[in-house]
Amino acid sequence: MAKQDSFEISQKQLDACAKLINLDAGTLAVLREPLRELHVSLPVRMDDGSIKVFQGFRVQYNDAKGPAKGGIRFHPEETIDTIRALAAWMTWKCALVDLPLGGSKGGVICNPKEMSQGEMERLSRAYVQSVWQFIGPERDIPAPDVYTNPQIMAWMMDEYSKISGKSQFGVITGKPLSVGGSAGRDDATARGGLCTVREAAKEFGIDLKKATVAVQGYGNAGYFAASLCKSLFGSRIIAVSDSKGGIFNKGGLDPEAVRAHKDKTGSVITYPNATAISNEDILELEVDILIPAALEGVITGANAAKVKAKIVAELANGPTTPEADDILYRNGVHVIPDFLCNAGGVAVSYFEMVQNFYMYYWSKEQVYDLLDKKMTPAYHSVLDTAKKYNTHMRMAAYVVAVERVAEAMKARGWV
């Protein structure tokens, strides 16, 4: 079965929300499409002296509530439709956790695994040279995403600062601490997600000290999710996976040792004292908490009925299709939707912006406390809305977010 287009999925979800809350046709028409998007060609000199031209994008979906906010992906299979969908989800995500920001996303079609550090730097600076007029601390603030990192953000911030003639730390978030990054940013996505898992466990009477956890995807978010589930809750991590496959141990895995093994070998798959398992099988394990933390579209109409987890905490963007949502809801699986569950990253990015603006930086403990105070009420607003409309959590999250964005649009006279 062909994989569904991410932007079509995002529009389908929005249409269903609009129908549920009787959103007027004009407002829906504006919300269904990006406000603006930029396509750029990026010529980069490679290490062998040749020139290679990369294709890049920046989509600003909606900025009714404030400057646009969204990451930049470097990926060989990047598409404009994926970027549009992610920009839409960023719009809903910022609204859901009540940030004064809109949504955007960027990407470059490239394979970082085949590029040197020097080539990556030249590509990063070329991207900023092409989009700098469309971004800025009060316009659109990028951040790291798939295959980008704090170093890449530092190069991009530096290039923007050179062009503007002054240090502009606030143009980018997810930077190293030495150039205006925020304490607590590295594990913010996972930590914020676990705030919602904690609240869901209370709601459904799950003892997290006895809970079993499977994590699909062992990058930044997946690793921290596994590590924090164990350290904060005492949960048992029985399976993890990466792009090459997964490992399973019913007695539990040590997240730190697995991370060290992956750093050394490039994958979790040869980790000792564990059984090999596929990325597909990990989704169907009998666990209390399943954390999809890889790419979009992994839980579909074809496999949703086989998901046995009590809670699905979506740290990835768009891991569940609309057809799968309905099946999981009917089967009593509690899904914490992506733009709620993984909003910890953008919440701490916002905190980083605030710190950049007034040039005073908070401790990690302050950041964690503020993060919890954003994520916990956001979860309960979605849960209460789900009960009110007798619908699943993703639709409830859309209702909360779309109503907030629509209210801002109407206040500004856009519709």
Q: Which residues are marked as active site?
A: 105
Whole-angstrom distance, CA of residue 282 vs CA of residue 22: 39
Question: Is beta strand 68-75 parallel, antiparallel or unpaired with respect to 102-109?
Answer: parallel
Whole-angstrom distance, CA of residue 95 vs CA of residue 280: 32
In b/e form, how buried is each residue of 221-250, taking b as 16+ CB within 10 angstroms?
bbbbbbbbbbeebebbbbbbbbeebbbbbe
Check if the beta carbon of residue 394 is closer than 8 Å to that of residue 384: no
Kindly report the three-state secondary structure assignment for every residue of 290-346: EEECCCCCCECCCCHHHCCCCEEECCCCCCECHHHHHHHHHCCCEEECHHHHCCHHH
Sequence-distant (6+) residues with CB within 8 A of 368 are 184, 191
Structure tokens at 118: 């020097």
Please name which of 69, 58, 91 lies closest in space to residue 138, comparing C-alpha atoms: 69
Residue with tokens 């979906």: 61
Check if the beta carbon of residue 95 is closer than 8 Å to that of residue 73: no
